[in-house]
Amino acid sequence: MRKERLLFFVAICISVLACTSCSNKPGELSFFQKIQGWELLFDGETLNGWRDYNGRELTGPWTVVDGTIQAEGSGGDASGYIVTDREFANFELYWEWKISEGGNSGVLYHVVENRRFAVPYVTGPEYQLIDDENWEAVNGYPLEEWQRCGVDYAMYVPDFDTRKLNPAGEWNSSKIVFDNGHVTYYLNGKVTVEFDAWTDDWYARKDSGKWATAPEYGLARKGHICLQDHGYPAWFRNIRIRELPTKTYEKDLFNGKDLTGWDLYGTDLWYVENGELICESGPDNTYGYLATRDYYDNFDLTVEFKQEANGNSGVFFRSFVQRPAIVNGWQVEVAPKGFDTAGIYESYGRGWLIQIEDEKENILKEGEWNTLRILAQGDNVQTWLNGEPMVNLTDERVGRGHGRIALQIHDGGGIKVRWRNLHIKTL
């Protein structure tokens, strides 16, 4: 009897596994897919859960037709993008698609919404969907290799000789696996590209090609899924996602030797001396920033600083900087006594979000080394100065933020601050 039960159990398991290869009806998941943690991003009937990029609702040019999401083909470079309401960090994303003859579309991920970003592709990488075969005949010019179907757009290209692409008007399946920076694209069950994001090779490609003028491209480690109407009809169905665990790590942000891993904005002076990172006012006496090359959203950061010659500075988080030196995000203040060191300031819109209590001003040790700790998780940010709790802020807008850690030097001139032991642990 035990042997018969075992055989029966094995048969059931084989049947369930076999069902995973069966086509689901639009808007349905199989029993086994649900067990594996898959979720639908399209229910087959409505566009619930989708809206315009940088918008609050869906205004088009997208409709539901016969269990598919259809891009009507009236979008363009500057419009026609829809995004998921939710954001995703590490995931396995599967969808089926077909495109019109000579058509062009795409699926983007880790897209960041911000009024400073007019279009999603300056932040989110794109899995290119395009009709290679008929493109030149329809549009009058050839495609570059990095524009062809299945590429990581303008970054990584597959072996086109082994790629399997069904012609325009026929269904294809695609998948993106993003696992803590290791990325794999699939087309009709076969790998097209595989690479590691945020490596030296990745940054070299980003900084030397199409994205050289898009400094925030691909840096976000969490963001929206985006579909593109690029002026051609396209259809999507069976869009589903399975979230993967996010790995945590800790590291020193400053190596004590040089500015490796940092980007400089403005004309102020940033240099290394005796293992310390020093910032000084430059010839223009304007704002300046030294920002991490990478993004950090949820983290526990400690940094030591010593103020000299005024010492008006700060530590920005979940921020990005536009050249020459315009910052967008939130700052933990570093300033002379009496000016709210460890309080939190928003660089655009609202100004001070929370200042410190007056009796805590004496915790700052002017002319000596101080230890600042910043704990950011979700919409909550807490700070400590020299081991003493300073502020505790919960703010929805802060919780939606993504970006870099950046050190500031204030405008006005005559400022000098020393930094050391910048250590971060991701959460």
Check which CATH number belongs to the domain holding 172 and give it. Answer: 2.60.120.560
Say if 36 falls within a structural domain. yes
Tell me: do 39 and 80 sit in the same domain. yes
CA distances 326 to 38, 205, 247, 348, 408, Å, are: 41, 25, 32, 10, 11
Say if 277 falls within a structural domain. yes
Tell me: do 194 and 108 sit in the same domain. yes
3-state SS assignment for residue 211: helix
Q: Which 8-state DSSP code applies to residue 181? A: T
- Provide the domain count of the chain: 2
Q: Radius of gyration (Cα) for the chain, nearest Å? A: 25
203 DSSP β-pair partners: none
Say if 369 falls within a structural domain. yes
Say if 3 falls within a structural domain. no
Last residue of a domain, one of 202, 221, 243: 243
Tell me: do 192 and 287 sit in the same domain. no
Task: Tell me: cis bond preceding 324? Omega within 30 of 0 counts.
Answer: yes
| Per-position pLDDT tens, the chain of length 427 | 455 554 444 444 444 444 444 455 667 899 999 999 999 999 999 999 999 999 999 997 899 999 999 999 999 999 999 999 999 999 999 999 999 999 999 999 999 999 999 999 999 999 999 999 999 999 999 999 999 999 999 999 999 999 999 999 999 999 999 999 999 999 999 999 999 999 999 999 999 999 999 999 999 999 999 999 999 999 999 999 999 999 999 999 999 999 999 999 999 999 999 999 999 999 999 999 999 999 999 999 999 999 998 889 999 999 999 988 899 999 999 999 999 999 999 998 899 999 999 999 999 999 999 999 999 999 999 999 999 999 999 999 999 999 999 999 999 999 999 999 999 999 9
Tell me: do 178 and 267 sit in the same domain. no
Last residue of a domain, one of 243, 260, 285: 243
Tell me: do 220 and 259 sit in the same domain. no
pTM for the predicted model, two decimal places: 0.92
Domain assignment of residue 205, given as a range: 26-243
Question: What's the distance, Cα to Cα, between the start and end of the chain in Å?
Answer: 50
What is the model's pLDDT at position 417?
A: 96
For residues 67 and 60, what is the distance between their CA atoms, to the nearest angstrom? 17
For residues 319 and 274, what is the distance between their CA atoms, to the nearest angstrom? 29
Q: Which of 8, 228, 4, 265 is closest to 106 using CA atoms?
A: 228
Tell me: do 60 and 179 sit in the same domain. yes
How many Cα atoms are found within 13 Å in the side-chain-facing hemisphere of 299?
Answer: 28
Tell me: do 89 and 52 sit in the same domain. yes
Say if 280 falls within a structural domain. yes
Tell me: do 43 and 153 sit in the same domain. yes
Tell me: do 257 and 320 sit in the same domain. yes
Last residue of a domain, one of 218, 243, 268: 243
Q: Which residues of 403-417 are buried (b: 16+ CB within 10 A; e: fewer)?
A: bbbbbbbbbebebbb
Tell me: do 234 and 303 sit in the same domain. no
Tell me: do 63 and 138 sit in the same domain. yes
Say if 52 falls within a structural domain. yes
Say if 13 falls within a structural domain. no
Tell me: do 299 and 237 sit in the same domain. no
For residues 124 and 248, what is the distance between their CA atoms, to the nearest angstrom? 22
For residues 84 and 53, what is the distance between their CA atoms, to the nearest angstrom? 9
Say if 227 falls within a structural domain. yes
